[in-house]
Amino acid sequence: MGLRAHLQRLFVPAAEQGISPSVTVGVLRARVAELVKLNLPMESRVRVILTKNDGMIYVGIQPFLPLSKQVYESGIKVITAELARNSPRIKDTGFISASVEERKRVGRNIFEILLTKDGNILEGMTSNFYAIIGNTLITARRGILLGVTRRAILRLARGQGMSIIYRSPRVDEKFHEAFLTSSSRGVVPIVSIDNKPVGQGRVGKWSGMLSKAYQAYVEERSERIVH
């Protein structure tokens, strides 16, 4: 899903920084196709890493284990942390090292950590974040990694009749609903932030609607790895 956009996010910044990747996009797609066959008929989760010093590209692959149905039906609990990416537009592995202590807080009852700055919610540690008040979707546009799934969600939200405001939601705001998104998880409803209920403390109408719309979108728009 969104492979072309994912690769653009890898290759375009590399070109801007004068980094010459060790393979072309076409070759990389072919190699990824070869690797995912190893896990068939299961789906795969693929991680592509470009090194800054020599332009080498490494591909990691593992079986993809989707979230349980209960996660989407019951929602998740998240907490916040005063933390932000140094280079928000680049998916830099250095952020993983910088946030290793915070990642330890994710466990059975805590699904994700929301990154905040001066009381503003920027994004999730491995996801994008959205709040809903009425029929308005609120999400940051600055200081975040612009996820590939995020682009689709914003388009789907407009199609469902929602209005969109681009700003960072505040930690102390009263949201009617909230959710996060990522390529592998889709739309995941949030029912609690820092142990405080979001809205009625259950999955809301808009979150559930967008989750189903995104699932249909993936089935319709998924692209072939190689042509």
Q: What is the pLDDT of residues 77-92, one digit of tens each?
A: 999 998 877 776 667 6
Q: How far is CA 34 from CA 29, 133, 175, in A?
A: 9, 45, 45
CA distance 179 to 129: 6
CA distance 67 to 69: 7
Is the per-residue pLDDT at 210 higher than 90?
Answer: yes
Q: What is the pLDDT of residues 123-137, one digit of tens each?
A: 998 899 999 999 999
Domain ranges of the chain: 3-64, 69-218
Percentage above 70 pLDDT, the chain: 94
Tokens 């990154």 appear where? 115
CATH superfamily of 69-218: D-amino Acid Aminotransferase, subunit A, domain 2 (3.20.10.10)
